Amino acid sequence: MTESTQGARGGAQRIADALVAQIQSGTLRPGDQVPTTAALAEQYGVNKNTASRALVALKGAGVLSGLAGGYTWVRVPPQHKKRSNERYHVEKASVLLPASERSSAGVSESDSGIPLDALHEDRAEYSVIEAPDDVREALGLPTGASVLRRIYTRQHAKRAGVDRSTSYLPFDVISGNPDLLDSTKEPWPGGTMHQLHTIGVELDKIVDHVTCDMPTPEEIRDFDIPPQVPVVRIRKISYSTEGDPVELMDIPIPADRIELIYTTRLERWNATD
């Protein structure tokens, strides 16, 4: 079958409009697989390239998900989050609370409004590795030093894009408490600040280094990122009251689902000034 350029564009638009109508009516729901290009081409009397053009356009608009050559499905809407630096005050305040209260005070859950027990997936992978050069330098560690790497993966619904962050803790700092090396203790009530508290470390400040670039192929696949959407990258470094960096966490977040809120508290002038 051959088509003119105008006919191909019209055919692709017709297919795209039909799929959007099915999504809006609920005939196709988030996570549902859509027909293949071959099936769409036969149904609408167009060639496969035209059908493929319709699917590519809807992926670009964030309506559909899936990589070229694989299955395509209705995109599961991502979690929209608001991340404020005020969260660190809340987390530190919870460190001294009883365990039952710390368990219900998670700042990550408050970002999205979804409790942990409602997540489709919540996984933590622990491994002791030699610190990567950039991590070693940021944490002020000697060459060859080991760190505990913790990779956190969460998914709020089946076929939704995942959230993933990677934390690094100096092994020599935390090795005195074996529980801190045990991934089965996750989720830890009170988070990292309380974990550090168990070995006598109090945090004094946290510095977020925020940059932005385009996603890697792995991130496009795992995070379910539409084309042309960049990734906001937060490198969070926590410092003890002695001034030592004690944790580095890399947090990549697709820009289509995050609002960063920074509150700067200013010192007040004396009333007599």
Average pLDDT (197-220) is: 96
Task: Say what percent of the chain tops pLDDT 90.
Answer: 80
Average pLDDT (265-269) is: 92
The answer to whether 139 and 148 are in contact (CB under 8 A) is no
Instruction: Count helices and strands (H / E) in the chain.
Output: 10, 10
Q: Tell me the C-alpha to C-alpha distance, in Å, between residue 55 and each of 29, 68, 139.
A: 16, 10, 46
Task: State whether residue 161 is helix, strand or coil.
Answer: coil
Q: Can you name the residues that pair with 81 across neighbouring β-strands? A: 258
**CA nearest to 253, candidates 132, 181, 170, 165:** 165
CA distance 139 to 239: 9
Domain layout of the chain by residue ranges: 5-74, 81-261
Average pLDDT (191-215) is: 96
The answer to whether 69 and 24 are in contact (CB under 8 A) is no
pLDDT of residue 1: 45
Task: State whether residue 44 is helix, strand or coil.
Answer: helix
- Among the four given CATH numbers 1.10.10.10, 3.30.470.20, 3.40.50.1980, 3.30.360.10, the one describing domain 5-74: 1.10.10.10
Radius of gyration of the chain (CA): 24
DSSP state for residue 180 in the 8-state scheme: G
pLDDT of residue 6: 55
Q: For the segment 149-163, what is each residue's pLDDT rounded down to a tens digit?
A: 999 999 999 999 999
pLDDT category of residue 102 using cuts at 50, 70 and 90:
confident
Contacts for 207 with CB less than 8 Å, ≥ 6 apart: 236, 237, 239
pLDDT category of residue 227 using cuts at 50, 70 and 90:
confident
CA distance 37 to 47: 9
Task: State whether residue 58 is helix, strand or coil.
Answer: helix
DSSP readout, 88-134?
A: HHHHHHHTTS-HHHHHT--HHHHHHT--GGG-SEEEEEEEEEEPPHH
- Both tokens of 214, joined, read 């385009």
Q: For the segment 14-30, what is each residue's pLDDT rounded down to a tens digit?
A: 999 999 999 999 999 99
CA distance 46 to 256: 33
Say which CATH architecture domain 81-261 belongs to.
3-Layer(aba) Sandwich (3.40)
Q: Which amino acid, residue 1?
A: M
Q: What is the mean pLDDT of the chain?
A: 91
| Chain center to CA of 161 | 8
DSSP state for residue 273 in the 8-state scheme: -
